[in-house]
Chain A
Amino acid sequence: QVQLQESGPGLVKPSETLSLTCTVSGASISNYHWSWIRQPPGKGLEWIGYLFYSGSTNYNPSLKSRATLSVDTSKNQISLSLTSVTAADTAVYYCARDLVVGVGCWFDPWGQGILVTVSS
């Protein structure tokens, strides 16, 4: 079955760039959208953005252009870069396959998530 695994540093300093990778196994990243989602401790889910395997992207405007998604088809990986981080960016970050059919959309499956703490 399709499995996703997030990886990257668990601690990032304020004002620096958060960089995470999502490795997909059990399926090719081609022909699908892939999203990053985050969840601050004790809070709800926030969609960060999605990427199509061809490289086209769409982002949550609330992140004010700090987020960039990219794809490496040779490694079957999707990456997230978030610049100028603050403590408010501390969260568990998830990647998920983003499925769209007609007027429906859903995320399945999800990675297990990775906690990233922003602190000096």
Chain B
Amino acid sequence: AQSVTQLGSHVSVSEGALVLLRCNYSSSVPPYLFWYVQYPNQGLQLLLKYTTGATLVKGINGFEAEFKKSETSFHLTKPSAHMSDAAEYFCAVSVFSGGYNKLIFGAGTRLAVHP
């Protein structure tokens, strides 16, 4: 069964430092992978997605992620953290079930950015 594991429920970085949020997936078929961000009291916003093709995917707000099949990983990075990046981040894999697709989410990683 497909699943998603996010390593680290809380990550804290300094403003200007590298952001690295880890995501590993389990899938018996080539996966479609997503990163979403959730700000307080809001819904989820798509940051980026990997379907096929280029393994380095660029998203909004300076984030990018690299699909590594050999490591079954899809880690999210940003070279320089900004205070506005503080939020909860969810990795998700699209699962083919009953002829249609649905998203399976990881448990989330809460990112704190301090001055």
A and B co-occur in one complex: no
